[in-house]
Every structure is written in structure tokens, then in C-alpha cells.
Amino acid sequence: MAEYQAPLRDMRFVLNEVFEADKLWASLAGTRDIIDPETAEAILEEASKITSSLIAPLSREGDEEGCSWNEAGVTTPKGYKEAYKTFIEGGWVGLSGNANYDGMGMPKMLGAQYEEMLYSSDIAFGLYACLTSGACLAIDAHATEELKQKYLPKMYSGEWAGAMDLTEPHSGTDLGMIRTKAVENGDGSYSITGTKIFITGGEQDLSENIIHLVLAKLPGAPAGSRGISLFLVPRNSVDANNVVGENNKVTCGSIEHKMGIKASATCVMNFDGAQGWLVGEPNKGLMAMFTMMNYERLSVGIQGFAAAERSYQNAVDYAKDRIQGRAATGAAQADKEADPIIVHPDVRRMLMTMKAYNEGSRAFSTYVASFLDTAKFSDNADEKKHAEAMVALLTPIAKAYMTDRALDSCVAGQQVFGGHGYIREWGQEQLVRDTRITQIYEGTNGIQSLDLMGRKIVSNSGKLYELFANEVAEFIEENRDNAALQSTISPLAAAMERLSDVTEYVIKATAEDANAVGAASVEYLELFGLTAYAYMWAKMAKVAVANVEGDTSGFYDTKVKTANFFFSRLLPKTVSLSESIRSGSVDMMALDQDAF
């Protein structure tokens, strides 16, 4: 298994050259005084060092050993506690945290690059830190000042971790069915009772305390999702001086035995009259939790392609070293008994597909992060409104499309190894297993597709879609006469026309077909995602073609050639996706239940 190397040159390319993050940060009231190119570069360099040298070596053995559980709690794999201690000493958990509570206040565009490195090194380890960061977002956005002062500094430091407790044994996506109860204690706190399942990092031995954000229902609350409230529940009690005391009637009943991310504890959590505090308003907990969930959905998308990036690095290393057969054009290494398998077109197909999707994902996650930064840090009301709308539109694509393509890429990376890819010691099968969960948690990709098609497109008659379409149309118009970009602009324009036509088709179909949204949603998200990646590759190609001449490193030439592969070999799938969507729901729903 190749040693992980953070792709810093590619990160700098999308951050500094494609999206010009320094200009955006300089224009935003909340970032202009806290981040500059030198600081950003220092953070990237340090993140690369700590993820490559400290965390990446834990991944293989962590997967083999996994977490263990007994009545006393959860034990993480060997080396995790020591690595976590070193990790939090660098302040990484609070990288994007509110500076008023001892966070570093860094923008999400930079945080996205850091998260990629963290997840590439070891998804399981990264989950402990990033779930804490997400929990902090919800607390910072919705909790009282007293709760923020008490909990955020310790969570940003990593001394206390965070977890989000939503799912129950009988209630997955439909959270309106939850049964966990909250009863007022008469002193401003609440007594929380219930059981939650699939709680990532719900128990572990890394941090001094774990702060749970728990969805529960108050007595007499409205039925369904309108009656959900959010509560902050520490695993161990915390006194007025922030001294951690006895267990707060919060216990881990067991951990799941999983397909992947085995070093990340997935817990059954029991709350037996635990003391908690309301976060946000009564019966509006789901809205507050979505602050964290939307952060986690982009983070999950990054998890996926981060694993695919590591799979790609492994596959390239193997393909250059493994000799088998001869190149179709003649021996590439006549002095050896065979050529390296990277000479074969099918191996090239797999590697190029991985490369094109991984780099497209890196650009797209940075693009989404730019809107998150504007929504959070701008003091311009119109800018904030536009950015928030774009985040709403793009988040389901970031979560679902990035993870779908990531699993494809990890499987391709495994396939490059042939039989060795199926053997645990090489590490490729672990990445397939670890990535598989990203399509499931934080709302399955099918749910993300329904959210995009139903809530973000049909419910507002395509108004959110028009924001994206107008931006791409402007880009196309600006570059239509650039001869060096014709191999990208023309197919991008065709793909956008196709996407717009299909969008209009589905909106109209819903008037007569109740199943229209559900039947179209998965293919529509894939069509949208593929077209959005075409926009990303067009933006990257524009920068690359302008810098090819005189570039002795070959970096920009490689970008141009990868863009050409994307447009010629991958983007044509938009045609079949469009036809599939237009087939409607009739054949999909034709069979009686008993016929299955």
C-alpha cells in the first residue's frame, strides 16, 4: 500500500487559481482580517504533515483491530489515543470554529482541503474530529450564550468531543416518529429518556467528555417532525467550574459490527433520565439540527472522494510497478520480461476515470464551500441570500454525487490491483468498505435525490435551479469565443441545455403523475452532478490552458488532458440519463407488489 501524500498542488490549484479564495476572503467582512494567502498555505502544509505522518499510518491496523466494547465503555484501536492527543494539541478540531469561543475562525474553503487530507489518511479517525466540529456549529448557531461559553471552548480544543443522536431503532429517515422524551426539571434543564442507534463516536476513550446533541419530544408536542426539540446532553456532568464529574445517566449499550470504518465506534446510546439543556426553540429542533447535518453532508461527500484519492494514489503506484503483458504499440520496457500494466488502455481508463472524478469532486466541494463562506461571513444581505440558496441547491449533490462516484472510483482502484485488490493487506478493499457507508448515512443518497428533485427543484418551479443555470450561462457566454476552450465550452453548453430541458420536463410531469419526482430523482441528481462537474472542469481548463505555455512541470498540460478525457468519455452519459428520466414512472411502477 503506497504511503499517502496530500495532493497539495491540486489543492492550491482549485483554492487559489480556479476559485481565487484570497479575493473572496478579502471581500468578506468576517474573513478579511483573519486569513491571508500565507496563513492558508501554512495551514495546508501543517495539515499535510500531520495527516500523512501521524494519522495515515493508523488506518490499516485500526481497521484490523477495530473498536471494542464492554460495560465500562469503548476502547479505540492501539495508537488512536496518542495520535488524538497530538492532533488536538494543534487545534485542528476548532479550525473553522468561532474565534469568540477559542476557535480559529478559518473559512470553509480552507477547511474543505483540511478535511480531505484528514479523511484520506483515515476516515475512521477523522469522524471523531469532524463530528465534534459539526456539533459545535449547531451549538454556536442555536444555543444560549451560557451554553456556548460553557461548552464550545472545550469542544474546539478537542478535550470534549461531540456526537449527534437522531436515529432510533424504529425511526430512520422519518424522524417525526422518534420516541425519546424530554421532561422539564424545573431548573431550566430537562430529563432525557430514550434509546438512539447508529451514533458515530457516541462513546470512545479519546476525549474527557462527549457532548451529545439529542433529538427528543416534549410532552404535548405537535405530531411528526413539527414536534421535535434539540437538547445538549453531556455524557458526564459538568459543574460551574467546567470540572467533569460523574456519568450523566448516558451509557453505551453496544457497538455495531460493521462492514467498514471499524475504528470508528458506531454506538447504541441509552439516555436514562439524563440531564440536558434545550438548544434553540421548543419544537424547532430539527431546524437546529440541520445546521449540523448540512455541514456533515458536505463533509460526508468529502469523505468519499478523499478515500477515492487514496485509492487512486495506491492504484497509480501499483500500475507503474506491476509488470504484465506488453503494450499494444510494442514493448515499453524491452529490458524487462513484461511492461507495467499502466500501458494498457483498460488500466488507463480506470485511472483516468478516477482522476477526473476525484479532481472534479475537489473542485466541486471547494465551490460549495465558497458559498458557505459567503453565507456565513458576508455583511451583504443580497450576497448572503444568494449564497444560502446555492448551498441549499448544491448540498444534496455534494453529498450524494460525490459519494456515488467515490465508491465507483474505489472499486476501480481495487480492480487495478486485480486479485491483490481483494486481499486485505493491500488496503484497497478497506477503502471500498469504508466508502460504502458514505452513500448511506446523513440521509441516504436516495433521500438526497428526493430532496433535490422535490424540495429544491419542483416545489419552487425551478427557481433555485435558475441561479445555477444563469451562472453557468454567464461563464459560457464569457468564454464562447476562446478558441482554446472549444472542446469544453460546446459540450458544457449542450449538457446544460439537456439538464434545463429535463428539469422543465419533470416539473411539468408532476402535475399529472404523483410518482414523477420519485421516478426521476436518482437519475436527475446524477445528471445534475455530472453537468456540474463539467462546469468545474471547464473552469479548471480555462486556468490550465492559459498557463500551459512555459510550464515545465507539466501540471497544466495534465489538467487540460484530464479535462479532455472528462468531456469526451464521461460527460456523454448525460444523454442516456436524460432519456432514462424522460421514460417516466409507468414501467417502474407497473408490477403489483405480489409480483416481486
Nearest to 481 by CA among 470, 493, 471, 469: 493
pTM as predicted: 0.96
Rg of the chain over Cα atoms, rounded to whole angstroms, equals: 24
Q: Which residues of 416-450 are buried (b: 16+ CB within 10 A; e: fewer)?
A: bbeeebeeeebbbbbbbbbbbbbbebbbebbbbbb
In a domain, 321, yes or no: no
For residue 199, the cross-strand partners are 267
CA neighbor of 67 nearest in space, from 232, 317, 252: 252
Residue 495 lies in a domain: yes
Q: What share of the chain is helix, strand, coil (3-state, %, to 5)?
A: 60, 15, 25
> Considering the domain boundaries, does residue 559 fall inside one?
yes
Cα–Cα distances in Å, from 212 out to 137, 170, 182, 199, 218? 13, 20, 14, 10, 17
C-alpha cell at 108: 470553509
**CA pair distance 75, 69, nearest whole angstrom:** 6
Would 17 be classed as within a structural domain?
Answer: no
Backbone φ and ψ for 67, nearest 5 degrees, come out as -90, 155
Give the span between the Cα atoms of 105 and 103, in whole angstroms: 6
The C-alpha cell 471494542 sits at: 68
442 has catalytic annotation? yes
Domain count, the chain: 1
- C-alpha dihedral, 94 to 55 to 73 to 272, nearest 10°: 30
- Say if 550 falls within a structural domain: yes
Q: Which domain holds residue 532?
A: 444-590
Catalytic residue among 296, 309, 429, 442: 442
Grouping H, G, I as helix, E, B as strand and the rest as coil, residue 435 is: helix
Strand partners, 284: 228
CA distances from 204 to 125, 339, 596 (A): 11, 48, 43
Q: How many CB atoms lie within 10 A of CB 335?
A: 5
Q: What would the grid cell of residue 551 be?
A: 510550464
pLDDT at 295: 73
Distance in angstroms (rounded) separating the CA atoms of residues 173 and 126: 24
Is-contact 200 167, C-beta < 8 A?
A: no
Q: What is the pLDDT of residue 170?
A: 84
Return all residues near 55 (Cβ < 8 A) that are at least 6 apart: 83, 87, 118, 121, 122, 125, 126
What pLDDT was estimated at residue 1?
A: 63
Residue pointed to by grid coordinates 451560557? 146
Q: Phi and psi (nearest 5°) for 210?
A: -130, 125
How do strand 181-184 and strand 250-255 relate by DSSP bridges? unpaired
Q: What is the mean pLDDT of each run of 10 residues along the chain (596 residues)?
A: 91 98 97 95 98 97 97 96 97 96 96 98 97 95 97 98 93 80 97 97 98 96 92 97 97 98 98 98 88 82 98 98 94 93 98 98 98 96 97 97 98 98 97 97 95 97 98 97 95 98 97 96 98 98 96 97 98 98 96 96
Neighbouring CB atoms inside 10 A of 320's CB total 12
Per-residue pLDDT at 294: 73
